[in-house]
Amino acid sequence: MTTKNTWYVYLLRCNDNSLYAGITTNIERRLHQHNHTKLGAKYTRAKRPVTLVFIESTADKSTASKREYQLKKLTKIKKEQLVSTYLSQQSDINSAT
């Protein structure tokens, strides 16, 4: 899933049902940091555990940062629709294999 030159934009669902957007080159490491270390964002440290609910790959850091900004500007309803669509697609992919 993680490739060295690929950047990822992700959404996490916090234990209070809020959504947090971020970027990384290593999803597994970043999720661990959010849940278990002080390297996780201050926002998520107070709202553990967090779960990954959306991921999108991009070609570079600049594109990832721009997409993260777009996601952060979405309303909660639009973010929830994005998450719902993503999870539905993942479910379809998993059931097809």
pLDDT tens per residue across span 61-85? 999 999 999 999 999 999 999 999 9
What pTM was computed for the model? 0.90
The single-letter DSSP state of residue 18 is -
H/E element holding 90?
helix 76-96
Residues (pLDDT < 50) of the chain are: 1-3
pLDDT value for 4 = 63
The pLDDT score that the predictor gives to residue 94 is 78
Where along the chain do its domains lie?
7-96
For domain 7-96, give its CATH number from 3.10.100, 3.10.110, 3.30.60, 3.40.1440.
3.40.1440
